[in-house]
A and B are shown apart, each in its own frame.
Chain A
Amino acid sequence: MSIFSEVPQAPPVAVFKLTADFREDSHPQKVNLGVGAYRTDECQPWVLPVVKKVERLIVEDSSLNHEYLPILGLPEFRSASSKVALGDDSPAIKENRVGAVQALGGTGALRIGGEFLRRWYNGTNNTATPIYVSAPTWENHNAVFADAGFKDIRPYHYWDGAKKGLDISGLLDDLEKAPEASVFVLHACAHNPTGTDPTQDEWKQIAEVMKRRNLFVFFDSAYQGFASGSLDKDAWAIRYFVSEGFELFVAQSFSKNFGLYNERVGNLTVVAKDNENLTRILSQMEKIVRTTWSNPPSQGARIVSKTLNCPELFAEWYVGNVKTMADRVLLMRDQLKAKLQALGTPGTWDHITQQIGMFSFTGLNPKQVEYMIKEKHVYLMASGRINMCGLTSKNIDYVAQSIHDTVTSVQ
Chain B
Amino acid sequence: GHDLTSPPMGPPDPILGVSEAFKKDSNPKKMNLGVGAYRDDQGKPFVLSCVRKAEALISAKQMDKEYLGITGLADFNKSCAKLALGADSEVLKSGRNITVQTISGTGSLRIGANFLSRFHGGPRDVYLPKPSWGNHTPIFKDAGMTLKAYRYYDPATCGFDHSGALEDISKIPEQSVIMLHACAHNPTGVDPRPEQWKEISDLVKKRNLLVFFDMAYQGFASGDIDKDAWAVRYFIEQGHNIVLSQSFAKNMGLYGERVGGFTVVCNDAEEAKRVESQLKILIRPIYSNPPMNGARIASTILNTPELYSVWLGEVHGMANRIIKMREQLEAGLKKEGSTRDWQHVIDQIGMFCFTGLKPEQVERLTKEFSVYMTKDGRISMAGVTSGNVGYLAAGIHAVTK
Contact = CB atoms under 8 A, between A and B. Distances in A.
Interface of A: 2-13, 16, 35, 37, 44-47, 51-52, 55-56, 59, 65-69, 71, 103-105, 107-108, 111, 119-124, 140, 143-144, 146-148, 180-181, 214-216, 247, 255, 259-264, 270, 272-273, 277, 279-281, 283-284, 286-288, 290-300
B21 interface: no
Contacts of B10: 280, 283-284, 286-287
B288 A107 contact: yes
Contacts of B287: 103-105, 107-108, 111, 264, 293
Nearest to A287: B10
A272 B3 CA distance: 9
Contacts of A52: 62
Among B1, B4, B8, which residue has the most Cβ atoms of chain A within 10 A? B4
Contacts, number: 236
Interface string B81-96: 0000000000000000
Contacts of A69: 256
* 7 residue pairs, one from A and one from B, having the closest CB atoms: A104-B287, A298-B256, A181-B2, A283-B10, A143-B285, A294-B106, A299-B293
Contact of A284 (B7, B45, B121, B294): B7
B286 interface: yes
A297 B10 CA distance: 23
28 contacts: A3-B120, A3-B121, A3-B122, A4-B266, A9-B274, A13-B70, A37-B67, A59-B56, A65-B45, A67-B37, A67-B256, A105-B288, A107-B285, A107-B286, A108-B288, A120-B6, A120-B7, A121-B2, A123-B6, A144-B285, A147-B285, A262-B66, A277-B4, A280-B8, A288-B142, A290-B135, A291-B110, A299-B294
B210 interface: yes
A397 B121 CA distance: 55
A2 B64 contact: no
B65 A259 contact: yes
A71 B16 contact: yes
Contact of B289 (A44, A45, A262, A287): A262
Contact of B65 (A35, A45, A146, A181): A45
Contacts of A284: 7-8, 10
A6 B16 CA distance: 40
A300 B67 CA distance: 13
Interface stretch (B191-199, B275-283, B358-366, B380-388): B275-283
Interface residues of B, number: 76
B59 to A, nearest CB: 5
B291 A297 contact: yes
Given A120-B7, A144-B285, A293-B107, A5 B255 contact: no
A140 to B, nearest CB: 6
Contacts of A288: 142
Interface in B1-42: 1-10, 13, 16, 35, 37
A180 B2 contact: yes
A56 B59 contact: yes
Given A10-B274, A66-B257, 4 more contacts: A2-B267, A104-B286, A104-B291, A284-B7
B297 to A, nearest CB: 9
B56 A66 contact: no
Given A10-B280, A120-B4, A283-B9, A140 B65 contact: no
Contacts of A71: 13, 16
Nearest to B267: A2
Interface in B222-281: 241, 249, 253-258, 264, 266-267, 271, 273-275, 277-278, 280-281
A146 B114 CA distance: 13
Given A291-B138, A293-B103, A293-B106, A13 B5 contact: no
A241 B119 CA distance: 42
B74 interface: no
Contacts of A2: 241, 266-267, 271
B244 to A, nearest CB: 14
A192 to B, nearest CB: 13
Given A2-B271, A7-B119, A68-B255, A264 B291 contact: yes
